[in-house]
Amino acid sequence: METFWFIVLVIMLATYIILDGYDFGAGIIHLLFAKNEEERKAITNAIGPFWDANEVWLIAAGGVLFFAFPTLYASSFSGFYLPLMLVLWLLIFRAVGLELRGQVHNRLWEKLWDKAFGMASLLLALFFGAALGNVVRGVNLGMVENGISTQEPHYFFLALWNPTFDPLAQHQGIIDWFTIVLGLVSVVSLTIHGANWIIFKTNSTINSRLRMIIYRLNFVLLILVLISAGLWHYVKPIAFTNLQEHYWLWIFPIIGSAGLLGQFKIRKFRNDGTGFLCSSLFIFGSFGTTVASMFPNLLPSTNTVNPSLTIHNAAAHEYGLSVGLYWFIAAALLVVLYFIIQFRVFRGKLDQVGYGEH
């Protein structure tokens, strides 16, 4: 049952990254590339009917984490307390920026909330990438010093950064040169993803410019992916052991590579949705590769005193996991039905939605 709930958690997180990821990317496009009011309205129209529903997947993933892997939930929400609070406030500012922007028709007011929406989206993409970097790198479980565990085996706490910015330091920080690189990968990939969504859902004048932006950013993304893979091997020399031992896991790197390479043809795609499919494949494949490489670890330990948190030692009791399966099936059917209805209602281009107008 632990493996089943692990797969459920991974699918929920992947769905969240793909769906809310294009919201973050659209916000970055809104901040950096939109030149006039028409283009800014096209961007908010593209994500307006979906952004709040997409965040449900993050809440659902948190619920599954609390239910199925309570030890990991307790450990993460204490150790990552500071960045989680920052993420919470950024999510609030992003939502407030979208909702309050159209309440007062004053250029200064609109510019203020445009910046709040765009900066929150940019920082969220950066922080979520850095968060993944922290999980990949591992943490000092038990706060071991000089070979002695000073806390409970699953407890840790990270400052925002350490003086050396070294991921291999005993006293780690949320931000170091390794997590920053993964944060940049996240920012660039979600910017491309958001641009593809805008092209898919609008006929805006910005779309032709976005195709060129995607093409150029894809070179940056390719370089960052290669650098991050090398740094990951440096930080975790055994990072790719699972891929070497189980060749079927290479399906994830292949999917990610296909999506990445496909985006180089963005200027030739006739179907507006093809680019979004490619960026979705890249995100899914990259996240799947990361998870497959770490399995069965959920949160690696950087010391040899306390073991890593795995799907086995962090899971709830077998009976609870079995009972929860029935409730999960009912909830999953309702969520799938809701999203089918939502995407049918808002299918096609959304240029005339008028989201946020008052």
What value does the mean pLDDT of the chain take? 89
Q: State how far Cα 49 lies from the chain centre.
A: 20
pLDDT at residue 168, as a whole number: 84
Amino acid 192: pLDDT? 96
Local confidence band at 235 (pLDDT 50, 70, 90 cut-offs): confident
Q: How far apart (Å, rounded) are the C-alpha atoms in residues 347 and 12?
A: 23
Phi, psi of 175 (to 5 degrees): -105, 120
pLDDT range class, residue 279, cuts 50, 70, 90: very high
Q: Point out which residues pair with 301 in neighbouring strands.
A: 139
Task: Give the range among 44-48, 159-163, 267-271 with minimum mean pLDDT.
Answer: 159-163
| pLDDT value at residue 285 | 95
Mean pLDDT confidence for 39-63: 89
pLDDT in tens, 78-94: 888 888 899 999 999 89
The rounded percent of the chain whose pLDDT value lies above 70 is 99
Question: Are 314 and 65 spatial neighbours (Cβ–Cβ below 8 Å)?
Answer: no
pLDDT at 355: 67
Q: Is the pLDDT of residue 358 over 60?
A: no
Q: What is the pLDDT of residues 247-263, one digit of tens each?
A: 888 999 999 999 999 99
In the predicted structure, residue 99 carries a pLDDT above the cut 90 = no
Residue 145 has φ and ψ, to the nearest 5°, of -135, 125
Taking the C-alpha atoms of residue 167 and residue 184, their distance in angstroms, rounded to an integer, is 16
**0.75 exceeded by the pTM?**
yes
- Does 144 have pLDDT greater than 90? no
Render pLDDT for 110-135 as a digit per residue (tens, 0 to 9): 888 889 999 999 999 999 999 999 99
Asked whether 57 and 20 are in contact (CB, 8 A), the reply is: yes
Residue carrying structure tokens 């591992």? 138
Task: Decide if pLDDT at 357 tops 80.
Answer: no
Q: Mean pLDDT lowest for which of 4-18, 167-181, 271-285, 341-355?
A: 341-355
pLDDT tens digits, one per residue of 148-207? 888 888 888 888 888 888 888 878 889 999 999 999 999 999 999 999 999 999 988 899
Identity at 233, one-letter amino acid code:
H
pLDDT at 194: 95
**Secondary structure, 3-state, the chain:** CHHHHHHHHHHHHHHHHHHHHHHHHHHHHHHHCCCCHHHHHHHHHHHCCCHHHHCHHHHHHHHHHHHHCHHHHHHHHHHCHHHHHHHHHHHHHHHHHHHHCCCCCCHHHHHHHHHHHHHHHHHHHHHHHHHHHHHHHCECCCCEECCEECCCCCCCCCEEECCCCCCCCCCCEEECHHHHHHHHHHHHHHHHHHHHHHHHHCCCCCHHHHHHHHHHHHHHHHHHHHHHHHHHHHHCCCCCHHHHHCHHHHHHHHHHHHHHHHHHHHHHCCCCCHHHHHHHHHHHHHHHHHHHHHCCEEECECCCCCCCEECCCCCCCHHHHHHHHHHHHHHHHHHHHHHHHHHHHCCCCCCCCCCCCC
Question: Looking at residue 356, what is its pLDDT?
Answer: 62
Residue 292: its pLDDT value, please?
Answer: 92
Task: Look at 31-40, 145-154, 177-186, 297-306 and tell me which has the smallest mean pLDDT.
Answer: 145-154
Report pLDDT for 241.
84
Q: What is the mean pLDDT of residues 346-351?
A: 81
